């Protein structure tokens, strides 16, 4: 049996490319060893069958940004039941339109951004990309979020007008927002700079109690819809690099 060599060495030898190009192919998930994709250029190989995908191309290694439909009961930013644990290869949404191939490196060092109440469901963003991190932290109060809130109770006089403008939260006057009825029990909120517990408090001030909250959109990014409807809770899709939020 021949002595093992680094996978990058074998790829460069078999496919007549530079060592740097071989490492790029491997990191981008284009190389398989005995039928299994291997993303480590240092992986040792001896007599294994090494193959390069016919569609392989040299491209920059881009950081991943993931859009997760968080179910109720999971913690978004910190806690004992973190929603980030749901981002696994097996929970990748079948109808993801991004065209990005899942790679092992996409599941490491994903930072969750944009808080969402534990009892709420809906869109979460997790990223490895510093550009996305800066946009969603430095400009957080400038980005509009859209929520669907199921309520019960009797709306106070002028309640809808007050929800749109005229309420305060934690001794802070709230700026104007957009609130409308979607149906008899659901309100649609579009607002910026929302804080934990704010939607529940706003509804309580006009005589309504909240049964559920679902975030539909962050900036220009929706949960996503496919041929079978919206991306289901617990599943995720990629945000293509360069997409404006």
- Domain edges within the chain: 5-52, 65-140+220-238, 144-218
- The contacts of residue 78 (CB under 8 Å, 6+ apart) are none
Res 1: pLDDT: 63
Res 39: pLDDT: 85
pTM, two decimals, is 0.85
CATH of domain 65-140+220-238: 3.30.70.580
Q: What is the pLDDT of residues 108-122, one digit of tens each?
A: 899 999 999 999 999
pLDDT level of residue 46 (50, 70, 90 thresholds) = confident
- Asked whether 165 and 234 are in contact (CB, 8 A), the reply is no
- Asked whether 231 and 214 are in contact (CB, 8 A), the reply is no
We find that the CATH architecture of domain 5-52 is Roll (3.10)
pLDDT level of residue 40 (50, 70, 90 thresholds) = confident
Q: Provide the percentage of residues in the chain whose pLDDT is more than 90.
A: 80
As a whole number, the mean pLDDT across the chain is: 93
Q: What is the pLDDT of residues 157-181, one digit of tens each?
A: 999 999 999 999 999 999 999 999 9
pLDDT average, residue stretch 217-228: 95
pLDDT level of residue 67 (50, 70, 90 thresholds) = very high
Fold classified for 144-218? Alpha-Beta Plaits (3.30.70)
Give the distance between the most distant pair of CA atoms in the chain.
Answer: 84
- The contacts of residue 144 (CB under 8 Å, 6+ apart) are 190, 191, 192, 217, 219
């Amino acid at each position: 049996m021949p002595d093992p060599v680094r996978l990058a060495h074998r790829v460069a030898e078999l496919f007549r490319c530079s060592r740097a190009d071989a490492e790029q192919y491997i990191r981008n998930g284009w190389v398989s060893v005995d039928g299994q994709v291997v993303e480590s250029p240092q992986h040792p190989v001896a007599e294994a069958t090494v193959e390069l995908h016919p569609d392989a191309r040299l491209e920059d290694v881009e950081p991943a940004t993931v859009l997760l439909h968080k179910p109720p009961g999971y913690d978004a930013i910190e806690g004992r039941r973190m929603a980030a644990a749901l981002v696994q290869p097996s929970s990748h949404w079948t109808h993801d339109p991004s065209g990005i191939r899942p790679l092992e490196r996409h599941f490491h060092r994903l930072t969750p951004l944009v808080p969402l109440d534990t009892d709420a469901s809906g869109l979460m963003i997790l990223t490895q990309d510093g550009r996305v991190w800066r946009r969603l932290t430095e400009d957080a109060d400038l980005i509009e979020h859209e929520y669907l809130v199921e309520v019960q109770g009797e709306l106070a006089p002028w309640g809808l007008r007050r929800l749109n403008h005229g309420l305060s939260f934690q001794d802070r006057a709230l700026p104007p927002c957009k609130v409308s009825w979607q149906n008899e029990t659901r309100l649609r909120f579009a607002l910026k700079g929302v804080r934990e517990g704010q939607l529940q408090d706003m509804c309580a001030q006009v005589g309504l109690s909240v049964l559920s909250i679902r975030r539909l959109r962050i900036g220009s990014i929706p949960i996503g819809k496919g041929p079978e409807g919206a991306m289901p809770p617990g599943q995720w899709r990629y945000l293509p690099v360069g997409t404006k939020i």
